[in-house]
Chain A
Amino acid sequence: MEAIQNHFFNDLSVMLGRSLRHIFRSMDTVITVTIMPIMFMLLFVYVFGGAIQTGTDNYVNYLLPGILLIAIASGISYTAYRLFLDVQGGIFERFHSMPISRSTVLWGHVLTSLVSNAISVVVIILVALLMGFRSSAGVVSWLAVAGILAMFTLSLTWIAAIAGLSAKSVDGVSAFSYPIIFLPFISSAFVPTESMPEAVRAFAENQPVTSIVEAIRALLSGQPVGNDIWVALAWCVGIMLVAYFFAMRAYKKRV
């Protein structure tokens, strides 16, 4: 009897190639994902920005980390959507009835989410540069920023996987991302938390977005990062582990 070999990397590259084609053939999804955060950025910088006291003279610098998080939070809903279509359309079942490494069916989507969100992040940073964003960060700091954003993307992508695997309708698939998109508004992403009422402030200062935003902001402006980066990473890893656990449960229900 021939042994079944493990084809993990071959299968993963096929799955990744497939879903990368999906995003490169429908660049409109990338545009949709980047346009809303860019509009927010324009709105906050040129409309509200004059009235917001952040203690810095460059509000674009202050704002950018939060805008990037909003972009990622809306970007992952497309991962949920693509996963949902696979499950509904039957190609999921075809893959699972084939002699492949099964987990690659999910990992292909997860890695594609990293790539497509990286594209949106780069686009938004380019727009921010046009609007006056400047950074004194060195290569190491930029790598750290990229690392935090990648961790954030991964943790949210696994939440998206839960939605994509368990949703009953297309509307249900994207609904989960709205609360996540709004989290940055109740954080230090747009205004310092000192101006908020006590209860809101307590929430804002202790939710994951604030520590992630503060860590990225410090890295980009060449300030000492302090504890924020560890708190931020702990949040990302924690969310990722919990979401991964529930995504796997939803996945096992499907197969």
Chain B
Amino acid sequence: MLNNSIQVKGLQKSYKQLQVLKGVDFEVQKGSIFALLGSNGAGKTTIVKILTTLLKHDGGTAAVNGFDVASKPDNVRQSISLTGQFAAVDEILTGRENLIMIVRLRHLQNPRQLADNLLKRFGLTDAADRRVATYSGGMRRRLDLAMSLVGKPQTIFLDEPTSGLDPEGRIEVWKIVKELAEGGTTVFLTTQYLDEAEQLADRIAILHEGRIIANGTLVELKKLFPPAKVEYVEKQPTLEEIFLAIVGKKEEK
């Protein structure tokens, strides 16, 4: 129990007639990266919303960091943070003001100091006093993630963190996610990019038609397929590799 940051049993949720979740079960180990895969409309965001106390479920149980999401939502909120599909930043405020706002809402001391540290860590020091409206998509996402790290929550929810980012932006986010897990934070992420799950996740679950139809490590999931056949294929660079080579950035693994 204590080794699990997230515990979900028989989770159900309907919107009017439409049953989106038909009994979802999974567990996420403390300090691991867990990827929830699924096509658009599979219910990934619904699960994130239930686990982050934004939405009430109809049946089953869900606990985050040992607290039941239905009966102890305040404790859950204290121990998590959410980065949604769209960068949830305030465009009219500056990057620094955004961070200070979140520090104050988490009721922590030394907002300025904490904000400066995060700005530095995410390479936003130069842009700190510019309005977020002038930021690029990648900078916004970085600020968004920085805001989620305020107060060092035990579990972080990332709902499609790289959608809409360019390749460099994606790799940057991946690096941050890996660092977080190395620091002991549990990361729950949803994605529709299979390579993203492959790159990052310790465990991968596939959500399909309201149920988890597969759940395991990448190696385990690969075993579900017939054994590999040896074929000789000329190795062509992917467009992503070409792009990154031309712009002179090295992919960090």
Rounded to whole Å, the gap between the CB of A86 and the closest CB of chain B is 9
- Contact residues of A between 74 and 105, Cβ < 8 Å to B: 89-91, 93-100
> Residue on A with the closest CB to B150?
A98
Partner of B81, one of A5, A90, A97: A97
- Known contacts A4-B74, A90-B85; is A95 also within 8 Å of B53 by CB? no
Q: Cβ of A91 and Cβ of B89 under 8 Å apart?
A: yes
Q: Cβ of B85 and Cβ of A97 under 8 Å apart?
A: no
Partner of A90, one of B74, B80, B86, B93: B86
Q: Cβ of B54 and Cβ of A4 under 8 Å apart?
A: no
- Contact residues of B between 144 and 189, Cβ < 8 Å to A: 147, 157
Q: Cβ of A99 and Cβ of B74 under 8 Å apart?
A: yes
Q: How far is the CA of A26 from the CA of B86 in the complex (A)?
A: 23
With an 8 A cutoff between CB atoms, is B208 at the interface? Answer: no
- Known contacts A11-B105, A98-B106; is A93 also within 8 Å of B90 by CB? no
Chain A residues within an 8 Å CB radius of B106: 98-99
With an 8 A cutoff between CB atoms, is B104 at the interface? Answer: yes
Chain A residues within an 8 Å CB radius of B157: 97
Partner of A22, one of B52, B88, B92, B107: B92
Q: How far is the CA of A98 from the CA of B149 in the complex (A)?
A: 12
Chain B residues within an 8 Å CB radius of A89: 86, 88, 91
With an 8 A cutoff between CB atoms, is B101 at the interface? Answer: yes
> Residue on A with the closest CB to B84?
A90
Chain B residues within an 8 Å CB radius of A249: none
Q: How far is the CA of A100 from the CA of B81 in the complex (A)?
A: 12
Q: Cβ of A96 and Cβ of B75 under 8 Å apart?
A: no
Most chain B C-beta atoms within 10 Å of own C-beta, residue among A14, A93, A97: A97
Rounded to whole Å, the gap between the CB of A83 and the closest CB of chain B is 14
Q: Cβ of B88 and Cβ of A91 under 8 Å apart?
A: yes
Rounded to whole Å, the gap between the CB of A13 and the closest CB of chain B is 8
With an 8 A cutoff between CB atoms, is B97 at the interface? Answer: yes
- Known contacts A4-B74, A10-B107, A90-B85; is A97 also within 8 Å of B92 by CB? no
Chain B residues within an 8 Å CB radius of A168: none
With an 8 A cutoff between CB atoms, is A18 at the interface? Answer: yes
Chain B residues within an 8 Å CB radius of A11: 105
Q: Cβ of A18 and Cβ of B75 under 8 Å apart?
A: no
With an 8 A cutoff between CB atoms, is A130 at the interface? Answer: no
Q: How far is the CA of A229 from the CA of B101 in the complex (A)?
A: 41
Rounded to whole Å, the gap between the CB of A179 and the closest CB of chain B is 29
Give the number of chain B interface residues (Cβ < 8 Å): 31
With an 8 A cutoff between CB atoms, is A21 at the interface? Answer: yes
- Known contacts A21-B93, A100-B105; is A93 also within 8 Å of B77 by CB? no
With an 8 A cutoff between CB atoms, is B87 at the interface? Answer: yes
With an 8 A cutoff between CB atoms, is B78 at the interface? Answer: yes
Rounded to whole Å, the gap between the CB of A30 and the closest CB of chain B is 14
Chain B residues within an 8 Å CB radius of A255: 54
> Residue on B with the closest CB to A18?
B101
Q: How far is the CA of A1 from the CA of B78 in the complex (A)?
A: 12
Q: How far is the CA of A95 from the CA of B105 in the complex (A)?
A: 8
Q: How far is the CA of A215 from the CA of B235 in the complex (A)?
A: 83
Chain B residues within an 8 Å CB radius of A134: none
Q: Cβ of A98 and Cβ of B81 under 8 Å apart?
A: yes
Q: How far is the CA of A5 from the CA of B78 in the complex (A)?
A: 11
Q: Cβ of B53 and Cβ of A97 under 8 Å apart?
A: yes
Partner of B90, one of A2, A18, A26, A99: A18
Q: Cβ of A94 and Cβ of B88 under 8 Å apart?
A: yes
Q: Cβ of A94 and Cβ of B147 under 8 Å apart?
A: yes
Chain B residues within an 8 Å CB radius of A18: 90, 93, 101
- Contact residues of A between 19 and 73, Cβ < 8 Å to B: 21-22, 25-26
Chain B residues within an 8 Å CB radius of A5: 107
With an 8 A cutoff between CB atoms, is B28 at the interface? Answer: no
Q: Cβ of B97 and Cβ of A98 under 8 Å apart?
A: no
Q: Cβ of B93 and Cβ of A93 under 8 Å apart?
A: no
Q: Cβ of B82 and Cβ of A94 under 8 Å apart?
A: yes
Chain A residues within an 8 Å CB radius of B82: 93-94, 97
Chain B residues within an 8 Å CB radius of A17: 101
Q: Which residues of B contact A (CB under 8 A)?
A: 49, 52-54, 74-75, 77-78, 80-82, 84-93, 97, 101-102, 104-107, 131, 147, 157
13 extra A-B contacts, CB within 8 A, seeds A1-B75, A89-B88: A4-B74, A18-B90, A18-B93, A21-B97, A89-B91, A90-B85, A91-B89, A91-B90, A94-B147, A96-B53, A97-B77, A98-B102, A98-B105
Q: What are 17 A-B contacts defined by CB distance under 8 Å?
A: A4-B78, A7-B107, A14-B101, A14-B105, A18-B90, A21-B97, A22-B92, A25-B92, A91-B89, A93-B82, A93-B88, A94-B88, A96-B53, A98-B102, A98-B106, A99-B78, A99-B106
